[in-house]
Amino acid sequence: DAGITQSPRHKVTETGTPVTLRCHQTENHRYMYWYRQDPGHGLRLIHYSYGVKDTDKGEVSDGYSVSRSKTEDFLLTLESATSSQTSVYFCAISRVTRGEQYFGPGTRLTVT
């Protein structure tokens, strides 16, 4: 257990509204990641962070932004939600080996 929590765990929102998902870790790890999981696509990286205020884009970053003002919190914002962003979102951290990732419980987001 890497002490990762995500909130909310479930959310239904309407197209065009902004949505923020929160990832919180208790172990002070430097590296944090946001993924989305969709059937047939596995896990795809949205954004990642390698320190406070240090973030960068992943494979599927369009329509998403992130912020990290504290080591323990990594926020993912959908600026104007679309139905294509209906997905399960996972936050992850890595310790020393970046391929060795520890995932949170996920947030199921439905955009209607």
Partner 1 sequence: QQQVKQSPQSLIVQKGGISIINCAYENTAFDYFPWYQQFPGKGPALLIAIRPDVSEKKEGRFTISFNKSAKQFSLHIMDSQPGDSATYFCAASMEASYDKVIFGPGTSLSVIP
Q: Which of residues 54-83 bind partner 1 (CB under 8 A)?
A: 56, 58
Residue 95 interacts with partner 1 (CB under 8 A): yes or no: no
Rounded distance between C-alpha atoms, residue 110 and residue 112, angstroms? 6
Compute the distance between CA of residue 30 and CA of residue 47 in angstroms, rounded to an integer. 14
In the three-class reduction of DSSP (H, G, I as helix; E, B as strand; rest coil), residue 83 is classed as helix
3 binds partner 1 (CB under 8 A): no
Does residue 97 bind partner 1 (CB under 8 A)?
yes
Is 43 near partner 1 (CB under 8 A)? yes
Query: Which residue in 28, 53, 62, 100 binds partner 1 (CB under 8 A)?
Result: 100
Beta carbon of residue 98, minimum distance to partner 1 (angstroms, whole number): 6
CA distance 61 to 46: 5
- Count of residues touching partner 1 (by CB under 8 A): 24
- Look up tokens 């973030």; give the residue: 55
Residues that bind partner 1 (CB under 8 A): 31, 33, 40-45, 48, 50, 56, 58, 90, 92, 97-106
